[in-house]
């Protein structure tokens, strides 16, 4: 699926099924210390390639976890792997998660990928979570039509600390119905 832009400055982003070789592109972007600090809830052993491969083998084998590779069209028309996006399930709740190569941040790629993924995946509601200081991810969720539900505290392995995490839901109309809404 392609998120075509009316504005030429917006990125041309496409999602496709994951190929084994994508893990070679994902690993360095998900082992990037700056990105890990930002995400905060990232896996603690992110620089362990064997653990990374084992985790993604499990995820890719799980039919209830849709995962896509985010591709960015480059100036010459070729595509490069820009990141990943998936929906996983936590106690029955669908939760979206995404990661973009730091070299490509701030170009609207995550926003385009979330829009394309939500068009492709029918499951609703979809929850989103971001560390309260992860301004990029908070903005991606807000721009994508998620409604802010509440802030809770959780242990963030990358910070080795308990930090605030903001919980969102999509579509925004689900915020009124969900039992997770803050009183």
Ligand X SMILES: CC(C)(COP(=O)(O)OP(=O)(O)OC[C@H]1O[C@@H](n2cnc3c(N)ncnc32)[C@H](O)[C@@H]1OP(=O)(O)O)[C@@H](O)C(=O)NCCC(=O)NCCS
When asked if residue 134 is in the footprint of ligand X (CB under 6 A), the reply is yes
Report which of 177, 6, 3 is spatially closest to residue 85, judged by C-alpha positions: 3
Q: Does 149 bind ligand X (CB under 6 A)?
A: no
For residues 89 and 95, the answer to whether their CB atoms sit within 8 Å is yes
122 φ, ψ to 5°? Answer: -80, -25
Q: Which stretch binds ligand X (CB under 6 A): 1-9, 48-56, 94-102, 153-161?
A: 94-102
Residues 143, 162, 177, 182: which binds ligand X (CB under 6 A)?
A: 143
Q: How far apart are CA 160 and CA 155, in angstroms?
A: 7
Nearest distance from residue 106's CB to ligand X, in Å? 5
Binding flags for ligand X, 102-121, as an x/- string (CB under 6 A): ---xxxxxxx----------
Q: How far apart are CA 62 and CA 40, in angstroms?
A: 24
What are 97's two structure tokens? 């998660």
Binding site for ligand X (CB under 6 A): 35, 38-39, 98-100, 105-111, 129-130, 134-137, 139-140, 143
């Amino acid at each position: 699926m392609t998120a075509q832009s009316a504005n030429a400055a917006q990125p041309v982003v496409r999602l496709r099924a994951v190929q084994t070789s994508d893990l070679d592109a994902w690993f360095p972007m998900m082992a990037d210390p700056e990105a890990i600090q930002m995400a905060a809830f990232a896996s603690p052993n992110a620089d362990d390639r064997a653990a990374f491969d084992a985790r993604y083998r499990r995820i890719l084998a799980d039919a209830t976890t849709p995962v896509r590779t985010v591709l960015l069209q480059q100036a010459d028309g070729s595509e490069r792997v820009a990141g990943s996006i998936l929906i996983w399930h936590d106690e029955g709740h669908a939760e979206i998660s995404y990661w973009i190569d730091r070299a490509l941040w701030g170009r609207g790629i995550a926003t385009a990928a979330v829009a394309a993924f939500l068009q492709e995946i029918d499951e609703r509601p979809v929850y989103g979570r971001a560390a309260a200081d992860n301004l990029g991810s908070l903005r991606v969720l807000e721009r994508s039509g998620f409604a802010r539900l509440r802030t809770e505290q959780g242990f963030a392995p990358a910070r080795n600390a308990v930090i605030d995490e903001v919980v969102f839901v999509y579509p925004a109309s689900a915020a009124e119905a969900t039992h997770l809404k803050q009183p």
